[in-house]
Amino acid sequence: MKAVSLNLKDFLTATSYNPSPNRFREGETPFSERNLPVEYKCENCDYRISFKTDDFRKHTNLTHTNLRLTDRKIIDKTIKKLKLKDNSFLDFYCPNCEQATTILFKGVPSGYWGIFEFEIYHIFVLKFQEGRETIVSKLKKIKREKDVKNTCC
């Protein structure tokens, strides 16, 4: 398995949340209404998952993962290789196809009142690598077929 980075604009409806009520022009919608909800579209099966601002706030600076240890290690290795630091993450398996996904973001209190804001920087998904894993799985399948033939008749 390897971690693959996705283009944010292709898979998210919004990449940031700034609760500032400021408007540049009188008729504009406030920022807080423009950037929500954040909806992720699974790269593998197009399943849509919506996130609330609180989901990002709760995952800021946490080390808890929703992924299996082996999957988390692959993501961590990629993050370290790309020298990505000071990011919080929200990770999950797609409820439809179970593709492992990690969203990296930076969340901080902002402004005078310390209202939470965040910005998403990366999305990583786990993909099977062509090569060794494919060969190993084919060899296991051949072995199983031989075992079935040997036990039959």
Which pLDDT belongs to residue 10?
Answer: 87
* Cβ–Cβ under 8 Å, residues 152 and 31: no
pLDDT tens column, 22-40: 555 566 655 554 456 789 9
| Structural domains counted in the chain | 1
Domain boundaries, position 118: 2-128
> Is residue 135 domain-resident?
no
> Is residue 83 domain-resident?
yes
Q: How far is CA 35 from CA 12, 52, 116, in A?
A: 11, 11, 13
Confidence of residue 135 (pLDDT cuts 50, 70, 90): low
* Cβ–Cβ under 8 Å, residues 115 and 19: yes
Encoded tokens for 21: 């009520």
> Is residue 6 domain-resident?
yes
> Is residue 143 domain-resident?
no
Instruction: Specify the higher pLDDT residue, 66 or 4.
Output: 66
Tell me the percentage of the chain whose pLDDT exceeds 90.
30
> Is residue 50 domain-resident?
yes
Q: What does pTM read for this prediction?
A: 0.70
Which pLDDT belongs to residue 73?
Answer: 93
> Is residue 142 domain-resident?
no
